[in-house]
Structure 1
Amino acid sequence: MCSLNSHLSTTKTMSNQASERLKQNAERIMQLWEKRVRDEVSASTHQDSLVLQDSLPLYLNQLIEALSDRMVRTFTQITDNQVESTRIGKQHGHERAGYADYSMSHLILEYHILRQVIFQVLEEEAPLGVEDRDIIIGSIEQAVNDAATQFSETLRDIQELFMVTLTHDLRGPLNVVKLGTQLTLRRLERGDSHIDVAARMLGAVNRLDLMIQDLLDASRLRAGQSLKMKFEECNLEGLLEDVAEDLSFAYGERFVVVSDADIRTYCSRKEIRRVIENLAINAVKYGDPSTPITLTLQQTETQINLTIHNQGKPISLDAQSILFQQFRRTISAEDQTGWGLGLFLAKSITEAHQGTLEVESGEGQGTSFIIKLPKVML
């Protein structure tokens, strides 16, 4: 019968053999891996050798250490090794995300090829032990997870930076067009045949400005930031009248305001206006163009309800389930312009006011978006 010490010695020897074989063949493994990657991963063809291999030699060094002396490593050593392995995997994912041609599937395929090449080379002389195989497989699976996670995060950061930069750069020329259109509109006499054209131009510029702001705010929310809001006393009835009047320039006299009385609360006037505009424009896009859009303001002792209603084809229950998700659009919305962010932001802004945004839609009753805000005593 073998003693425990004898078993540990045998296991350690086998582990050292696998580690030593990997160390001796590391350069060859990288060469074989690179050759296969160039043949099988289309995105790799534009990268030179140093760029393509980047952090993988560091990963092999970590794997060599994981295979050596595994029975005598302390808990601290194991933890340090895992931390360093995670760092290397994330480094690889970060680097790959910076290459325009690389996708997540390309990244994962690289690791699958690496695992195959490692086993091919290390088992040329003799099969690996079960524990050594488990260590290699577990290490590569963890590396794939770390690299894929970092790839996604880095790609998201790149996209966020692109969107913020793009929207920022668009703001300058857009403001020039907006100010010029406003000046032209002021100088036109009532009854002038060009006043309708100028009004529609201004409406289009305002919608574009709103789309840019939506994109910026969505980027902030995805980054975990909160929207900047200035809370103050708001006359909601007056705000609703202002929105309806402005929208009438672009969409015609379709907006009907119904209000109980002079309703006031404490809110971010600018952001609540955006919510109303988003929902009203949404009603224009998807409602029956021959029917009015009704903006109704009501209050109870504890709550303020603001409803935007339009007639037209109802929203199915399936579509309602994704209605407030960012960049998600229903089938009926696919031929419409916009980012697919308006309802997502409307809901986010409403919730920032401790309120809710709901939808009710059915055959013959049209569609209603209902903003429910807590009544704040002034």
Structure 2
Amino acid sequence: MNANLTGHLSPDDPDLSPVTRAMLALRTPLLAAWMDEVRGSVPQAKDLPLPILENTLPAYFDTLASLLTPGHSARILTDIGAVASEHGGERARMTMYDATALIHELQIFRDVLFRELKHHGVELDEAQRTTLFAHIDATIRESTNAFIVVQAALREQFFASMAHDLRTPLSTAQMAAEMIGHTSDDPSVRRFAEKIVASTQRIDGMTRELLDRITFCKTGAVQLVIERMDLTALVRDVAQWAEHFHSVELEVEAEPIEGYWSREAIHRAIENLVNNAIKYGARDPAIRLTLSTTIERVQLMVHNHGTPIAPEDSESIFQLYRRAGRQHPGSGWGVGLPYVRRVAEAHGGSVLMSSSREDGTAFVIDLPTDARPFAGAPTAA
């Protein structure tokens, strides 16, 4: 149930087809081979920290493998698009990649996948090969689109910040030029001072127009106080609080799961997800909190049943002051999920979402185990 979003589908799951299980059994060596080849072939990836290079690839790999199980749910198709988009967005925020590098690393993934499957004796029929090829090609397109959109948002934020910061020295230069014009008896000096004043006023007007044209909400950076902490204990605290309002099931891979994160920010983000599950989910069954790890990363999943979030709302729910109104009517500003995304991205991570009537709704916060090198990373949310 949504284990694909955390990269923890089991190769022993009897509900999965033999070829899916065979792929899952090769997850670790295949991803390791992919990372080695990417480091050697993509210059921008050479010095990337392992958790950033790994990114959401375990979740992507598991979701791709699920496509080879006949009768897979429609949710899997939505999931693979969501994971692909998050991959592209994280590459834009956390690396020096350009679009060419992103496309190259996904092409390497495709080549490594088929090479390693063949090497380990996993036979694919023509329909299965076609399915994998088609969805990897779609992944390249969707990841690249997300990469371009997030890069544009980051450029927009940069230009807005630059335009705002320019106004202070411009104002100082203008006042100095006006003072020179008022105090000098030399006509030439006054004439030049007037030109300086006119030019600074023009530049100031241009910067104000630029600020007016940039349409984004400046909510400020997420303030992170990174410290060593036990995420298992924090999640248990949230689960105990939530049990006053709704039944909760907690599953943890290990205890403790320690790393470096912002305790307050992560606590608020998890509470927001659990509160949404309580508010918008069905009364039964229990809300599930699952805590697991992959290579130098940790995944926290909040899952509930209830009215699903429509695919067309899967992005708008993360936008400030917007919400999936048709599915979840009610009052409120809708700042919870944008905050969750900002917290995850500021830690160098991502948020994945999957929703369907049959499988329920799951949100996964996927973070580097040690967020210190990435604290305050740029956020597109």
TM-score by length of 2: 0.49
State the structure with more CA Rg: 1
Bigger helix fraction: 1
Higher relative contact order (CA 8 A, sep 6+): 2
